Chains A and B, each alone.
Chain A
Amino acid sequence: MTKIECILRPGKLENVKEAVNQFGIHGMTVTQVIGCGLQKGRTEVYRGTEYSINLLPKIKLEMVIPDKDVDDVIKLIIDNARTGAIGDGKIFTYKIDDAIRIRTGETGDIAI
C-alpha cells in the first residue's frame, strides 16, 4: 500500500478528484492548507500598509492506494493538475504498513 499526498492548486481539485474517482479510487482526505515553494507570494495593501503574504492557499489531497495503481494515479494527478506554471504543486509517496477498517476490523488492501 502506498499513501499519495499531493499539494494542488485549489482550482484543480475538482478535476483531480473526478479523474481518480473514474479510475476507481473513492477514498480520499482533503485539507485546505497554506504553504510556499518556488511560487512567489503576493502583496496585499490594507489602508496603505503593504503586507507581503508569502504563504499561498493550496489544497492537500491524501489517499492510500494499492501499490499496483501508484504509477497510473500519479500520471492522472499530473495530467489533471498541471498548468505548466510555477505553483502547480508536488506529489509525495509513502509506504504504508497496514490499513484497518474500523467498522469491520478488515486489514490490508481490502480495507482501503
Chain B
Amino acid sequence: MKERILRMMLPAAALFMTIPALAWAEEAAEAAAPVIDTGDTSFVLISAALVMLMTLPGLALFYGGLSRKKNILSTIMYSFFAMVVISIQWALFGYSLSFAPDVGQIIGNLDWVGLKGVGFAPSDVYGTTIPHMAFMVFQLMFAVITPALISGAFAERMRFPAFLAFLILWSTLVYDPVAHWVWGGGWLGTLGSLDFAGGTVVHILSGVSGLVACLVLGKRKGYGSEPMIPHNLPFVVIGASLLWFGWFGFNAGSALGANGLAASAFVVTHLATAAAALSWVVAEWTHRGKPTILGAATGAVAGLVAITPASGFVDPMPAIIIGLVSGVVCYVAVGVIKAKLGYDDSLDAFGVHGIGGTWGALATGIFANPAVNPAGIGLLYGNPGQITIQIISIAASWAIAGVGTLVILKAIGVVTKLRATDEEQDTGLDITQHGEDAYTDFVSGSPFGDLKLTGAFIQSASSTNQAKV
C-alpha cells in the first residue's frame, strides 16, 4: 500500500520540479500541496456508500433470512447496531487508533481523536488524491461490517446488551489494532504482508472471532435435535446479491482512485465470485444430489471473501482459480467439518469468512503478479518468501482474534449474561430481546395495553387471563 501511495505522489513531485526557479514562493507551495482528484474522490465516496450497502441491508437480509423466523429481527438488529455504534466509535477514537501516526508499530496514536485534523485536504499518507474525510469514511464502513459479520456465529442466542458491549470492546481492542498493523503503518504492513481490501483485517478476524464466540456461548438450545433451517431463502439471495454488488466498492474502492487498478480489482472480484458460486454448487450437487440456491448464494460470498486480499494483486485467470478453490474448501468446512466437530456456528461466519479469508490470504502470496501491482510479488513470480509473510499475518490475526474475543467475552460475562435462556430462545429473541414480531400475520390484543378499546371489556374482565396492562 505504501508503494502505491508513493507512485501516486510521483506526478505531484514531478510537477513541483518543473516550476521555474524564479517562481514566487507561494506558487511553489501551492504546487507542492496535495491535489484533490475529482474522479478519485467521487469514486471513493461512491465506494464508501457501496460498502455501507453491504452491511445494511445486504448482510442484515443475508443473515436475517438464514435465521429462524422468531429471530430475524434480532439478527438484523446486530447488523443495524454495528452500523450505529461503530460509526460513532470510529469518529470518536476508532479511526485515530487505526490510522493516526504510529506508536511502536502496534497502534495509532490519539492525534485524530474526534476527527481532529481530518478535513478536506488529503492525508499525506493515505489516499493522497482524495479528501482525508473521504478516506476516513470509506474505512469507517469496513470497521462497521467486520463485527456485523461475526454476529452470524452467535445469532439466535446472544443477548442484546452483551452484544453491544462486545461490539464496542471488540472493535476497539481487536479490529482497530489489526487495521493499524496492516494498513496504518504497523508491523504487518512493514513486514510486507499483502492484504488489498481486508482478507486478514476483516474476514479472518471476523471468522475466527465468530468461532471463538460460538464456542464460548455454547450451542443454541435444541441444536442437533430441532430443525434449524433458514426461514426465508429469497431474503438470503437478496442479501447475498447486495453483498456481491457492494463488494465492488469494497475491493475496487480499495484502490483509492478511479484508475486501472480499480478496474482490475473490480473484474477479478466478479470472476472469483462467479467461480466460487459455481464450484460450491457443483460440490454440493455431487455430494448431496441437488444444486441449491442457498449453496449458490453462500458460494458467492465465499468467493468474495477469498478474493478480497488478492483483488489488487492478481490477474483474472488466477482469480477464477481462487474462487473455484474457495467454493469447495468453504463447502467442506461448512457442510462436512462443522458437523463432525459439532460447534454451533449459527450462520457460518467462521466456515465462510474464517476459512475463505485464510485461503484468500494464502492465495495472495501465491498469485500476486507485479505486473498488476508492483507492491505484490507472489510465489509464482519468484518470491516464495511472500508465502511465509502471509502465513505470519494469518497466524497473528488468528491469534489476536481468538485470544481477544475469548478475553472480551469472559469479561462481559462477569457483568451481564451473554446467552439468552432456553425459554427466551424457545420464544425467540425478537420477542424476548426487542418485544417485536417480524411477521404479524395474525395478531390479537389491544393498543395502549387497554382492553376497553377492543370493545370486549366485559368479557375480558371476567376472565382470569386478562393481559398484563
Contacts and interface: CB of A to CB of B under 8 A. Distances in A.
B469 A44 contact: no
A36 B469 CA distance: 16
Nearest to B466: A54
B435 A34 contact: no
B447 A34 contact: no
List of 6 A-B pairs having minimum Cβ-Cβ separation, nearest first: A11-B426, A54-B467, A52-B467, A41-B467, A53-B445, A55-B444
Given A10-B426, A45-B435, A53 B465 contact: no
Contacts of B104: none
A82 interface: no
Contacts of A44: 431, 435-437, 445
A41 B467 CA distance: 5
Contact of A53 (B222, B425, B444, B450): B444
Contact of B468 (A11, A37, A41, A55): A41
A38 B465 contact: yes
A51 B449 contact: yes
A72 interface: no
12 contacts: A11-B422, A11-B426, A38-B465, A41-B468, A42-B431, A43-B435, A44-B436, A50-B449, A52-B467, A53-B437, A54-B445, A55-B444
Contacts of A41: 445, 465, 467-468
A34 B445 CA distance: 12
B265 to A, nearest CB: 42
Contacts of B449: 43, 50-52
B442 A34 contact: yes
Interface string B396-434: 000000000000000000000000001101110001000
Interface in A2-26: 9-11, 14-15, 18
Contacts of B423: 83, 85
B225 interface: yes
B431 A49 contact: no
Most buried by A among B222, B226, B444: B444
Given A34-B442, A44-B435, A50-B447, 13 more contacts: A10-B426, A11-B222, A11-B422, A41-B467, A43-B435, A43-B467, A43-B468, A44-B431, A44-B436, A51-B445, A52-B450, A52-B468, A54-B444
A54 B466 CA distance: 7
Contacts of A53: 437, 443-445, 467
A48 to B, nearest CB: 11
Interface string B352-383: 00000000000000000000000000000000
Interface in B230-265: none
B465 A37 contact: yes
Contacts of A10: 426
A39 interface: yes
Interface residues of B, number: 30
A73 to B, nearest CB: 20
B39 to A, nearest CB: 43
A57 B451 CA distance: 20
A6 B383 CA distance: 70
Contact of B464 (A18, A38, A51, A83): A38
Q: How large is the interface on A (under 10, 10 to 19, 20 to 34, 35 or more residues)?
A: 20 to 34
Nearest to B422: A11
B448 interface: yes
A36 B426 CA distance: 17
A40 B447 CA distance: 16
B190 interface: no
A60 B115 CA distance: 58
A46 interface: yes
B292 interface: no
Contacts of A50: 447-449
Contacts of B227: 14
Contact of A40 (B221, B437, B465): B465
B42 interface: no
A50 B422 CA distance: 26
A36 B225 CA distance: 28
A61 to B, nearest CB: 15
B38 interface: no
Contacts of A46: 436
A9 to B, nearest CB: 7
A14 B226 contact: yes
Nearest to B443: A53
A12 B426 CA distance: 9
B236 to A, nearest CB: 22
Most buried by B among A37, A53, A85: A53
B446 interface: yes
Contacts of A83: 423
Given A9-B426, A11-B222, A49 B445 contact: no
